Amino acid sequence: MALDDNNPLSKKEMSALKLASEGLKTQDIARSLFLSEGTVRNYLSEAISKLDATNRVDAARIAKQKGWL
């Protein structure tokens, strides 16, 4: 892991991504984090975008590889 790799993800994005990486659906993530499904989708979408990933699974993999999850 490179030391200059700054984590671009917010705490909320990381929380949503971590639950997504455990196989939870958007509805279950929303319930776990006490958020609306739309908010969870926004967090996951932002994380995917920031990590230049193709989807939530890819974003979680990238974040884990970098030691952020």
Q: What is the pLDDT along the chain (69 residues), one digit of tens a residue?
A: 444 579 999 999 999 999 999 999 999 999 999 999 999 999 999 999 999 999 999 999 999 999 999
Q: Which two tokens stand for residue 13?
A: 């994005």
Sequence-distant (6+) residues with CB within 8 A of 37 are 26, 27, 30
Query: How far apart, in whole angstroms, are the C-alpha atoms of residue 58 and residue 36?
Result: 23
Read off the pTM: 0.90
The predicted structure's pLDDT at residue 2: 44
Domain coordinates of the chain in residue numbers?
11-65
The pLDDT assigned to 50 comes to 96
Distances (CA, A) of 18 to 4, 6: 22, 18
CATH 1.10.10.10 fits 11-65, yes or no: yes
Residue-level pLDDT at 5: 76
Which one-letter DSSP state was computed for residue 10? -
Tokens of residue 62, six digits:
């990238």
